[in-house]
Structure 1
Amino acid sequence: MSENKSVANKKLIFPHTYAFLFSILLVAWIATYFITPGEFQRETNKETGQTTVIEGTYRIIDSNPTHLFEVFKAIPLGMENAANIIFYIFIVGGVFGIIRATGVIEAAIDQLMVRMEGRERLLVPGFMFLFSIGGFSFGMAEETIIFVPIGIAVARAAGFDAVTGTAMVTLGAASGFIGGMLNPFTIGVAQEIAEVPLFSGFAFRLSVYVVILLFAMWYVARYAFKVKEKPSHSVIFDIEKKSANSTSIPPISDRHYLVISVVGTGLVINIYGVMKWEWFLTELTASFIIMGVAAGVVGRLSFYKTFDSFVEGAKAMTFGALMVGFARAIVIVLEEGHIIDTLIYSVAHLIEGLPQTYTAICMFLAQSFLSFFIPAGPAQAATTMPVMVPVSDLTGVSRQVAVLAFQYGDAITNSIIPTSSVLMGYLAVAGIPYERWVRFVWKLILGWMVIAVVALIIAVLIGLR
């Protein structure tokens, strides 16, 4: 009996995360030999600087398969192209190393858990709702990385695991990102290209957002309390045991309150900077450095201890930070083989001629598929919407529905596709292997996709404009 169980467990072993990504990289390389290369003409909007595909300009070009050596070159090129995200991860890890060294996280969590005693069921929905606001208002994605350690610490203090803590933050933000009512980076770009009023369809998106968020809250809470009741239900049970911290928690002090004030002020400035000053990763990274140094000063750490803690925190991010470069390398190989445009053209061509509801669903599935190759929402909008909009005009599907199909296809898949730099980034911070995350999240993704399909059908039937 035990022997059969041992054999079964061996069959469930997943490859190393880097081996998995490298395998996908090799598949992308082989595909450049078999998929016909092609390209669209593109034009740049002088006012916005956005480069978009010119519909009807697709043409087949000479075969240009990627050589094997170029595959290995794509890895350092991927590191270079994703440098802003990679260094953002390192800096965030370093800053949290400083903040942790002050003892404020443990002390604040201990205080929180005392006040939340008997009301742990409010933690998951509370966290998820809070972060969903950032998701639908300013497209909170990369910014979630800084909050993941806090979510994990709170979850563990409540008897949950690191997966729950990560999900409370990232899937909360993802729920808002899927709703996207005021997201300028995806909805704003897509609606501008589709030439529909900016942020129109707000009420419909809000309704779908509520359903998406409630389903995610139920899903994560259900998992969390299963783990609390029986820790072996955790998908990272073996890792979680090693991460258990039995050290005593110091009481919260005035010094800790000063650190909390510095961090809170820094995060508010970051949010304001993203929304009002158009900050992105470079500005956010600089802001976090300031936040870290200030936290070290008010936390009464010596300069040596401050920067030693920074290095230790950054060191912990190495596994996942470099993973981001591997993920970006896959896209580079596809681009150099000139097969991304062929994939876009083929998918769009298959959609033509279907009934309106089927067309909307196929658009959604097509966007979900393409998001694997173009994981950045604004880039996917700029690349695919000029193709999808004419298709929607030909089939009678409104352009607003075409935008919805893009919105849901892009946003839902971001929480599971290995080419997503954001996903790989927060998994790195959490120390969760990619394959374990997939084991946890795939049913949620499937549920979100069903909700999206139903929403698209309703949108077509009511003639959403």
Structure 2
Amino acid sequence: MNETRRNGEEDMNHIQKKRWEMPDTYVILFLVLILGFIATYLVPSGAFDREMVDGVERVVPDTYQQTEGPALGLMDIFNSIQMGMVQSADIIFLVLFTGGMFEIIERSGALRGVINRAVTITRGNEFWLIAIVSTIFALAGAVGAVANAVIAFVAIGVIIARTLKLDPIIAVAITFGANFVGFSVGFMNPYTVGIAQDIAELPLLSGAGFRFIVFVIILSITIWYIWRYAKKIMADPSKSIIGVYEYSDDEENQLDTPFTIRHKLVLIFVALCLGYFVYASSQLGWTINNMAAFFLIIAIGAGIIAGMRYNTLALTFMEGTKKLVYGALVVGLARAVIVILEDGKTLDSIVYGLSIPLENLSPVFAAIGMFLSNGLLNFLVNSGSGQAMIAMPMLSPLADMIGVTRQVAVQAYQFGDGLTNLIFPTSGILMASLAVANVSWTKWVKWVFPLFLIWFVIAIVTLTVGVLIEWGPF
């Protein structure tokens, strides 16, 4: 009798544990979509006037007015999912083609060969490998050389983390995470600070010295945070939040496999292509569609150099895309939240509502308020340049009125745009990067949230100092 009761209690405990299982990323985003739908009934419809300046649409300050908005129905919720997929098709296919491209490169053995060589050289000093890779991606983000393109490089992080017997979180951290260290400060980023300073009528490189100091501080702390976790896993793999990569004896033996001429030719070809890709993205105005198409070229070229037959090349590419379908479609569902708010004519009203409280605050708290409001805005508009177009026309005159320099206003926008990309599931780049490494959003947030809080505190201190020293110009 006691045995039966004990078994029954164990069954009930097992059922209760299942009831409290963390919702899947798709479930979380669908709930956010429902909240967005409800907001279209609670938030008044409204719009700003917009004007075209040098071919770019900008919000005209002080032109917000309430308008008549449509009454959305149940079908609009599901239509927004379809439209979110359609509007995000460029990023979705970029993710899929990235998976196919790196599957071919990895199957060629070239990446494995060069990374094995690097691991062998740094064995016992893995900190330097993590620090160097993180610094490279941080600098790339700071100068605007890599933004959306970081998705393509997460696969390299996966190979590094796998070879070091770490977990997928490290793969995302040393690539995507490090990249957004630079993106959040961006002392020379033309797509964020460049556009924002142009709108605020500031010199392009003004404030770069102070931003560089903040960049070094945030990067140093981030590398320490990543290494602290990596070292913990190396000592005890069970400490991993998501589980370490399985690493067989055969893979261990591969550290001594030859790094052939063919491997080197594949890597030289890929390196030259990616170098041109970064140049074209920053100088030739390549879009995400150009990036995805170029990845097809890289995949085919690498496969040919590696000696793959045409059927093998095609099937290998498709195997790589299959691995990323789950994460690729997450990007479209995240976009659906924006679609429902735009359809309900409430997006501009939310932006306007975020700006009202700032007018009655002291300069320090107003600057922090700008940062917080831009962070919330980034949930809805997670394009750095797009958010600059919406926020800076309002923040610039607001900064003049409340006694905050426009340089501080630019940095408030930049922190708000950059930092929250670490955690917001509406960020297509975040969700795509997690998809490449096969990391769930919930596991990522569990790991990265303490680091996000550290960045958050540094941002507040930076803005406070900026107000107190009247960080200029203007």
Q: Please state which band the TM-score falls in when normalised by the shorter chain.
A: over 0.9
Could you tell me which residue of structure 2 aligns to residue 463 of structure 1?
470
RMSD: 1.9
Residue type at the aligned position of 2:381: I
214-223 vs 155-164, which deviates more? 155-164
Pairs within 5 Å for 1:62-461: 62-138=68-144, 140-237=146-243, 240=244, 244-245=247-248, 247-248=250-251, 249=254, 250-461=257-468
Alpha-carbon distance in 1 for matches of 2:430, 2:345: 26
Could you tell me which residue of structure 2 aligns to residue 16 of structure 1?
24
Aligned-partner SS, 1:397: coil
In the alignment, is the contact (CA less than 8 A) between 1:139 and 1:180 conserved in 2? no
Count of residues in Structure 1 that have an aligned counterpart in Structure 2: 460
Compute the displacement of 1:8 (Å).
8.7
Could you tell me which residue of structure 2 aligns to residue 59 of structure 1?
65
1:32 aligns with 2:40: yes
Alpha-carbon distance in 2 for matches of 1:266, 1:358: 47
Compute the displacement of 1:246 (Å).
5.0
Alpha-carbon distance in 2 for matches of 1:288, 1:107: 21
Unmatched tracts of structure 2, length 5 or more: 1-5
TM-score, structure 1 as length reference = 0.95
Compute the displacement of 1:433 (Å).
0.6
In the alignment, is the contact (CA less than 8 A) between 1:138 and 1:274 conserved in 2? no
Alpha-carbon distance in 1 for matches of 2:111, 2:16: 40
Alpha-carbon distance in 2 for matches of 1:129, 1:378: 24
Residue type at the aligned position of 2:116: D
In the alignment, is the contact (CA less than 8 A) between 2:145 and 2:282 conserved in 1? no
In the alignment, is the contact (CA less than 8 A) between 2:145 and 2:278 conserved in 1? no
Compute the displacement of 1:5 (Å).
8.9
Compute the displacement of 1:123 (Å).
1.8
In the alignment, is the contact (CA less than 8 A) between 2:169 and 2:439 conserved in 1? yes
Alpha-carbon distance in 2 for matches of 1:32, 1:244: 50
> Structure 2 vs 1, CA of residues 245 and 262 (structure 1 numbering), >3 Å: closer, same or farther?
farther
In the alignment, is the contact (CA less than 8 A) between 1:95 and 1:292 conserved in 2? yes
Alpha-carbon distance in 2 for matches of 1:409, 1:11: 35
Residue type at the aligned position of 1:43: E
Compute the displacement of 1:25 (Å).
0.5
In the alignment, is the contact (CA less than 8 A) between 1:98 and 1:307 conserved in 2? no
Compute the displacement of 1:198 (Å).
1.4
Alpha-carbon distance in 2 for matches of 1:245, 1:108: 19
Unmatched tracts of structure 1, length 5 or more: none
TM-score, structure 2 as length reference = 0.93
Alpha-carbon distance in 1 for matches of 2:269, 2:20: 45
In the alignment, is the contact (CA less than 8 A) between 1:328 and 1:419 conserved in 2? yes
Alpha-carbon distance in 1 for matches of 2:21, 2:164: 29
Alpha-carbon distance in 1 for matches of 2:130, 2:20: 29
